[in-house]
Every structure is written in structure tokens, then in C-alpha cells.
Chains A and B, each alone.
Chain A
Amino acid sequence: DSGVTQTPKHLITATGQRVTLRCSPRSGDLSVYWYQQSLDQGLQFLIQYYNGEERAKGNILERFSAQQFPDLHSELNLSSLELGDSALYFCASSVEAGGPGDTQYFGPGTRLTVL
């Protein structure tokens, strides 16, 4: 158990819908990262927040957005869902925004199925 929690564990929805995935980082961690893992794309970095502010953006679609709240939990919003958005979505957290030895610890993931 990494200490990172994600809800829900599974989500089944229809195309065109909107969903929100939630992540709580480990106690004391200020950075939250979101990743998408699908069979054909591997583990893809989406976005990073540090202490409430966006720090880095990866391959995140415009239909997706995220935010980190004052209590440091984060939400990933996925809208206008398409079949290809079906994937495992992981959240990871780390203590800092950078620096040597800063390790990312992954949560258990949310499995999203779009029908």
C-alpha cells in the first residue's frame, strides 16, 4: 500500500458522458501526477500539480482537465468520453516538485470503461 488513494476503483459509463476521478496523495506529499495506461499506449503522463498549481503538462487531451485543491487532493475530469478513453488512470504523488531522490508513488488506479 503506497498511501495514495483513488476513487472509484471501477467506472463504467457511456460515450459522450463526463466523469470525475479522485486522488488523495500520501500524507506530506505536495505533488500529484496523473497517468493514463492503455494496452496500446503504455503509461502516459497527463499532468502534474504541485501545491495547488499546475506544474507540467503531458499528453492530456483538451476534453480532460484536472485540479488540485487546498487540502491537496486532486480530481481528473474527463468529458465527452470516447471508446478510446477506456483505460486505467493512475494518480501518483511525491514530496516535492523536483530535485534528486524525489520518488513518485502510485495509487491503485481507476479502471474506466466507456461503452
Chain B
Amino acid sequence: GAVVSQHPSRVICKSGTSVKIECRSLDFQATTMFWYRQFPKQSLMLMATSNEGSKATYEQGVEKDKFLINHASLTLSTLTVTSAHPEDSSFYICSAGVNTEAFFGQGTRLTVV
């Protein structure tokens, strides 16, 4: 199957700092990637759809100025959590679709202290 690589897998940062998460499609080109967030015992919630060469589409309730998404190439999308707060601590995961199947990055566990 297709491979999606996400980095870092785990990050701890201080409140007020920014964290960048990278999502790469290694063996295919992804014009669209999806960013999800998962809180403990909750479902994966779509945050935004990342579109190569254009602005991301954010789901209702997700602050676009806080969660900056850049999809500058067909193989890389980045999510930057700006001015992180403890309530941003969560499991962030990206995915890309190939022939209707979703392939996921390994996920990033963000802890804001």
C-alpha cells in the first residue's frame, strides 16, 4: 500500500511556542491530504483538508490562524500549531486517499506543558 510518513511522532513543547508537524507521501503524489485530531477515547475528528497549491479548507470550529496548513508540493503538507496551549495537547494525524482507501501517517502526540 501507499506510504504516508509523519514527523515527529512525539513532541513536548512549552505553552506559547509553535510546533510544526510534517506529513509526506513517500511513493505517490497527494493533491489532497487531511489533518485529524484525536483526543483520548474520542473519534478522529477532521480538522482541515490540505490542498496542494491552494488554501486549506478548515472544518467548523477549527481556527485557521492557530492551525496553519501549508501544502506546497504534491508530497508534503505541514501543520503548524501556533501559540500552543495545554488544551492543544492531542494526537494529530494526517492521511491521504488512494483509490478511496485512506493511508495514515504514524501520528504525532503533542503535549503542551
Instruction: Decide if A and B are genuine partners.
Output: no
Residues on A lying within 8 angstroms of B by beta carbon are: none
